[in-house]
Structures are given as C-alpha cells and as structure tokens.
Amino acid sequence: MDLFKEYFKSHKPQLSIKAVNRRHRQPIPGKVDALRKHANIVPQKYISNNQLNKKIETLKQHPGRFECNKNDLNYIITTFLHGSQPNPNQLKMLGGKLGIKFYHDKNLNKWVIEKQ
C-alpha cells in the first residue's frame, strides 16, 4: 500500500474533458438561460406584486380591521388621497366601491382601515 504522499506520484489522474450530453437542454423561447433543463416558470397571475399593500388587498377579499403603520399611511395617501393629508375628524371611504373605511381611532390613537 502506498503512502499518501507517494500516491499521486504513481497514480497520475487522467485529464479528459467529456462532452456533456445536452440533448434535452433545449432553449426556452424568450428566456436568456438556455442551459437549464427545467425552467420552473410561474404563471403571471401567481406572481405577487410587491407594490400593492397587503392589508388593503386582504380587505378587498375579506372583511376585517387593521391598524395602519407609516408604510400603510404613505400608500393610502399616494394611492387613494392623491397626495393630500388625511383629516383625523373625517371618515374616508377608500376606492369608492371597495367599501373600505379609513379613519382615525381616538381610543387607539392610530389610523385604522376597516371593512365590514
């Protein structure tokens, strides 16, 4: 049995470049990565849109109540109030037909969005 330091002197590795079988690796039309075997493509309707507010999107589907943080307030001001500051004494309906109420709760001292 050879010692470890002598093993590579007597057993030289054979360097050979084998051709990779790329028969099943066909390019996907419209995609850049042509060498991937599985594209793992997700349909557009299942891709989440990070620019939408999750609380408002949840209230569109189901009734509930959420407290607003700074990010929610900024989204509501830019999207529904068109840049104007909300009035704490006024109840505002967001989006017309959505039925989402936007108001300032005096007990919590926070802005709230609610759908019943």
Which position has the token pair 């309707």? Answer: 45
pLDDT score of 85: 92
Three-state secondary-structure class, residue 26: coil
Report which of 11, 13, 36, 16 is spatially closest to residue 24, judged by C-alpha positions: 36
pLDDT score of 25: 61
| pLDDT per residue as tens digits for the range 33-89 | 555 566 667 778 888 888 899 999 999 999 999 999 999 999 999 999 999 999 999
